[in-house]
Structure 1
Amino acid sequence: MKLVALIPHYRHIATLPTVIAALRAHDLPIMVIDDGSGETYQSDLKEICCEAQLFRLPENGGKGHAMKYGFRQAAAQGYTHALQIDADAQHTLHDIPKLIAAAQATPHAAICGRPIYGDDAPKARLYGRKITDFWNIIHTHSCQIKDGMCGFRIYPLENTLNILDSEYIGERMDFDNEILVHLYWRGVPLVWVDTPVRYQDGGISHFRAWQDNVLISKMHSRLFFRMLRRCVGLGK
């Protein structure tokens, strides 16, 4: 297994150094995919990413767009697995070794963070996740997807790129859930690692309440009709 860490980044200059330092502590090579943050941030990014590869996308295309770019760059450099971790330091960075150990034990699987929420979690986020959990049971006819929205994962790149080459996968906040359902449909095992998630006062969120909820609703519609096609033998 050859692992690289991918950080999709959009204007999280304050927290990005903490994430990079945590990854470097585990001797992981790092790719930061800056999703069109703009010229104002470029000098700071260059300094922060002195121990990482920095890729600058010219326009903001969304988290999924950045991750797709990162997957292809990682595969082109010979990596077999990619650790996805957000730039906002919301994930529990001490749990990075847990995900790596799980990937080493089951390299054919997707290793997924299963978030454990505290009292600081916004209620709207929790309700939204419960709705997505319900739809994922419908899409997969199972309870195997414990959480579709947590972007703290290790992906097996070959299977992931096969999906990206053959299926439409969302470009923004719909990406995390949609790619996971397709991995499940392709028979990729999902291994879950419990990990606390914290919400910091004053933290920057790029979730757009109206636009991203519409995108997520469209995603569930796509998955639902894809599921129906699978049931009648018209799709993989």
Structure 2
Amino acid sequence: MQSLASMPTPTASSTHLVLIPSYNPGLKVDETVRAARACWNPVWVVVDGSTDGSTERLQAMAANDPGLHVMVLPTNCGKGGAVLAGIEAAAARGFTHVLTLDSDGQHPTELIPRFMAASQAQPDAMVLGRPKFDASAPWIRVQGRRLSNLFADIETLWAGIGDSLYGFRIYPIEPLKTIMQRHSWMRRFDFDPEAAVRLCWAGVPPIQIEAPVRYFSAHEGGVSHFNYARDNLLLTWMHLRLLGGFGVRLPLLAAKKVLGRRETA
């Protein structure tokens, strides 16, 4: 396999970076980081208390690649916690946007430049992946996410989130950081849908771009930390919170919806 040192290096962006939260991802993280670096510069990995040996491999990669930065959290904080640590550090260095990418190889790194271009053309928006599933996707997870997506549509009056759970997306850092610092519970698996809904409430428009998803079996090196009972309970509690917030915001959301229709008429 071609080494990072011998690859053509994309021009470094001073505003947009790829942010990869990573917790015990197995060997797939090496492929994911190499593929991301081939498409973008810089790439940051937030190691979220991993204990599988991936930390040392990533640090060795970063030692030979100035476009790769590895942050190590001493204990597992959850996906939202890892993203928050990353965006706080990125904001301190002047970055304005992050593209979040799972470390397990499921997301299409080849689409990173397309997503970044869409964000650069409309920097006030969030760019959300609209997943295209293949035969590798577990049926129960594909069907189950439809309920979460329906709730997200209701909570935003169909603002255009599309798939609320797909973590391949670009966030404007400042509004996301403000929201996450205000809501201390946005730290676990349920971070992605709540972030999309609350950003819509804050006036950040969504842009959708179709992107494929690949689920790897254990034989292929895939690692999943999804727990059906625990994580579905987290999602249920999250949507109950959001529905309460939606009730309070409903008059304002409805007024914005009506005004938006008048402006486009």
Pair in the same fold by TM > 0.5: yes
Q: What amino acid is aligned across from residue 230 of structure 1 in structure 2? A: R
Deviation of residue 168 (structure 1)? 4.3
Which residue of 2 is the match for residue 190 of structure 1?
Answer: 206
Q: Does 1:226 align with 2:245?
A: yes
1:114-153 alignment, distance < 5 Å: 114-142=130-158, 144-153=160-169
Which residue of 2 is the match for residue 205 of structure 1?
Answer: 224
Aligned 8 A contact 1:170 1:219 in 2: no
Aligned 8 A contact 1:169 1:178 in 2: no
Match of 1:83 among 74, 96, 99: 99
State the Cα deviation string for residues 147-168 of structure 1 (Å, max 9, x = none): 0001111111121122123334
Q: What amino acid is aligned across from residue 57 of structure 2 in structure 1? A: D
Q: Distance in 1 between matches of 2:169 and 2:133?
A: 17
Q: Distance in 1 between matches of 2:102 and 2:74?
A: 20
Aligned 8 A contact 2:25 2:54 in 1: no
Q: Distance in 2 between matches of 1:87 and 1:41?
A: 11
Deviation of residue 13 (structure 1)? 3.6
Deviation of residue 227 (structure 1)? 0.7
Aligned 8 A contact 1:169 1:179 in 2: no
Deviation of residue 104 (structure 1)? 1.4
| 3-state SS of paired residue (1:4) | strand
Please say which of residues 24-33 and 62-71 is displaced more in the overlay: 24-33
5+ long unaligned stretches in structure 1: none
Match of 1:167 among 160, 163, 183: 183
Please say which of residues 86-95 and 164-173 is displaced more in the overlay: 164-173
Which residue of 2 is the match for residue 112 of structure 1?
Answer: 128
Q: What amino acid is aligned across from residue 29 of structure 2 in structure 1? A: L
| 3-state SS of paired residue (2:56) | helix
| Higher alpha-carbon Rg | 2
Please say which of residues 214-223 and 13-22 is displaced more in the overlay: 13-22
Q: Distance in 2 between matches of 1:111 and 1:19?
A: 20
Aligned-residue CA RMSD (Å): 1.7
Q: Distance in 1 between matches of 2:228 and 2:119?
A: 34
| 3-state SS of paired residue (1:6) | strand
Q: Distance in 2 between matches of 1:164 and 1:59?
A: 19
5+ long unaligned stretches in structure 2: 1-13, 253-265
Q: Distance in 2 between matches of 1:141 and 1:177?
A: 15
Q: Distance in 1 between matches of 2:116 and 2:158?
A: 26
Q: What amino acid is aligned across from residue 25 of structure 1 in structure 2? A: A
Please say which of residues 214-223 and 7-16 is displaced more in the overlay: 7-16
Go from structure 1 to structure 2 and tell me whether the alpha carbon gap of 1:39 and 1:194 turns closer, same or farther (over 3 Å shift): closer
Aligned 8 A contact 1:149 1:177 in 2: yes
Deviation of residue 196 (structure 1)? 0.7
Go from structure 1 to structure 2 and tell me whether the alpha carbon gap of 1:217 and 1:164 turns closer, same or farther (over 3 Å shift): same
Q: Distance in 1 between matches of 2:139 and 2:202?
A: 33
| Fraction of identical pairs, as percent | 37
